[in-house]
Structure 1
Amino acid sequence: MTRAQALRAGMTLAEITHRVRSGRWQRLFAGVYATFTGPVSREVWRWAAVLRAGEGAVLSHRSAAEEVGLCRASQGPLHVTVPAARRVTAPGGVVVHRCRHVRERRHPSRQPPQTRIEETILDLAVGVPPEEAMGWIAAACGARLTTADRLRRALRRRGFVPGRPVLTSLLDDAAEGCASVLEWRYLREVERAHSLPAPARQWRRPRSGGYWYDDLYYPGERLRIELDGQAAHPAETRWRDYRRDNAAVQSGDTVLRYSTGDIFDDPCRVAGQVADVLQRGGWPEPAQPCGPGCGLLPADPGRDWIVEGASLPVL
């Protein structure tokens, strides 16, 4: 609650002062109070930052992302955006951004006041490395908070945007079904760089009581590829992943599983392995080297296939 809100509700300055001095209220910022005792959560601090920033202020950037669960609450600064015409002195622990279009970018119903999810993602994706930008885009689309098309429309509504071509390209990749940075790196460094065919992404297949979701699937060659990023495949879900892989093999499919290290450190080897299995399934073309120093391994149809660095279940 702000001091102005308390006064409008009928309290006096003396009553406010007494409640703060007695410990019943806690002063968070100048003129902003927590009307309870005990620990102050990050959620309360976000509300307090908006109240302290005043009229027209909204949560934005990482603070808005925290509010919708796109990232964990941190101990870093709180971010708010205010109308460009206002001058707000940022209190300690708060970063104040100014924007001419803050009213249009505000979410129509969420509380505390905050930017729309599309605007939040674009705020976070502008001016950062492509991998970090893709992380925000994939997180929002993967959580079904927005879509690549909605993000593209929001981008078009903005004027000058540094790195617009890069952002547009990342949104195109997200529209193809990349639901994580790891899947995006596979698309760029493995699939496109080595002229592999495009798989179906986020392939859904029925199972008892629901569906299995495969990261990548080549239906014609009966090849499923799982990319084990820590966010999408934490240790506690390992046995579920094993059951899914076993069911796929039982149905006649081949399963290859790769870790973050495989895709980031040796995409050429991964491309060679995928191409080898695809050729066994009937794909007629070999993988192509990505450049002069490509470490693409030649296919050897006579050898037994082992996915290095992976721990595949045995039926």
Structure 2
Amino acid sequence: MDLDELLTRQHGMLSRAQAIASGLNARRVEWLVTSRRWRRVHAGVFATFTGPLPFEAQVWAAVLRAGRGAVAGHRTAAYLDGLCDDAGPVIHVTVPADRYVQCKIDGVRVHYAHRLPHTRHPSKNPPRTRLDDTVLDLVDVAPHPREAEGWVTAACQRRLTTPQRLADALARRKKIRWRPMTEAMLADGAQSPLELRHLRRVERAHGLPTGCRQRRIAGSRVSWIDVDYDEYRVRVELDGRIGHTGEGRFRDRRRDNRATVDGHATLRYGHADVFGDACGVAAEHVRVLRARGWTGRPRSCGPSCQVAP
């Protein structure tokens, strides 16, 4: 690849090593910089044009500075692929775990990955991780289950991938944070892992009354209630449909509105609630059930449990 082709591919960014390999000597490179025809962006990395750096050029500069095998990753790769609308304040790059970037790079966060040869996209420009692996990388570093849930949901709702493709990518990973919740989000089945988690970690663990599950409600339209505490006119909806948009959401809204008109209280939870804060969910159940006549005695499931007996 000649110099012009390389500059076009790399959005005008060039490393010192690439410049010399293309026939320029070190003296010529320094003259181009001191004469302000080029400018130094990072150590050994130059912009060969003047004016503001487009985002793709900033990514290329970070990748070139990080060195062999580096690609855009995490939030930067997510932004490039349309998974999020805000690139964030720093550029994220991922490098193979068998090498180490010695010096800190201003404005760049470096991640290391053992499986990068398998998770690197083969052709996208700037180079980046494959979208399914980008989603899972972001899940892995998410500080809270709600954020992890948000990345999976966004990827599917924006039609960038499918639950099956994410599940396949997840199966290839030995270690990842929030694995049980992520597996539950991507699973199929009438009695979903989300429903089972609610039964075991919310209801049974805290001594709540046993709700009727998957109750069929007939009317002008047939609908299903995930958990129905009919005696207390309380319903729980467990929203585990990560790609659930459009008409489906309007049906849910109409069903909840009808329930309210009929005197039912509806509580709605997702994966991040049930997997990330089962005690908090149980505490809300207790407050609503007691307000509607339940006289039972709940129990704490551990020393830090929010449910008071």
CA distance in 1, matches of 2:28, 2:123: 33
Q: Is the 8 A contact 1:85 1:100 kept in 2?
A: yes
| Superposition deviation, residue 116 in structure 1 | 0.5
What's the CA shift string for 1:86-105, capped at 9, x where partnerless?
A: 11123121111111110001
| Superposition deviation, residue 151 in structure 1 | 0.7
| Superposition deviation, residue 22 in structure 1 | 1.5
CA distance in 1, matches of 2:175, 2:242: 33
Pair 1:33-2:46 in alignment: yes
Q: Is the 8 A contact 1:61 1:79 kept in 2?
A: yes
Q: Is the 8 A contact 2:156 2:243 kept in 1?
A: no
What residue is the counterpart of 1:275 in the other structure? 259
Aligned amino acid, residue 24 of structure 2: M
CA distance in 1, matches of 2:258, 2:242: 15
Between Structure 1 and Structure 2, how many residues are aligned? Answer: 221
What residue is the counterpart of 2:161 in the other structure? 146
Unaligned runs of 5+ in 1: 177-190, 205-212, 218-223, 227-254, 257-270, 281-285, 299-315
What's the CA shift string for 1:184-206, capped at 9, x where partnerless?
A: xxxxxxx64624598999789xx
Q: Which runs of 4+ in 1 moved over 4 A?
A: 195-204, 286-290, 295-298
Q: Is the 8 A contact 2:145 2:178 kept in 1?
A: no
What residue is the counterpart of 1:2 in the other structure? 15
| Superposition deviation, residue 274 in structure 1 | 4.0
Aligned amino acid, residue 65 of structure 2: R
Aligned amino acid, residue 293 of structure 1: R
Q: Secondary structure at the match of 2:99?
A: coil
Pair 1:15-2:9 in alignment: no
Q: With CA pairs under 8 Å and 6+ residues apart, which has the higher RCO, 1 or 2?
A: 2
Aligned amino acid, residue 34 of structure 2: R
Q: Secondary structure at the match of 2:249?
A: strand
Q: Secondary structure at the match of 1:108?
A: coil
Supply the RMSD in Å over aligned alpha carbons. Answer: 3.4
What's the CA shift string for 1:160-179, capped at 9, x where partnerless?
A: 22321122123348xx9xxx
CA distance in 2, matches of 1:170, 1:46: 32
**TM-score, with structure 1 as normaliser:** 0.61
What residue is the counterpart of 1:237 in the other structure? none
What residue is the counterpart of 1:265 in the other structure? none
**TM-score, with structure 2 as normaliser:** 0.62
Q: Secondary structure at the match of 1:80?
A: strand
Aligned amino acid, residue 185 of structure 2: L
What residue is the counterpart of 1:303 in the other structure? none
Unaligned runs of 5+ in 2: 1-13, 193-224, 228-234, 268-283, 293-309
State how 1:1-315 maps to structure 2 within 5 Å.
1-74=14-87, 76-89=89-102, 90-128=104-142, 129-172=144-187, 192=226, 194-195=235-236, 213-216=246-249, 224-225=251-252, 271=256, 273-276=257-260, 291-294=285-288
| Superposition deviation, residue 73 in structure 1 | 4.0
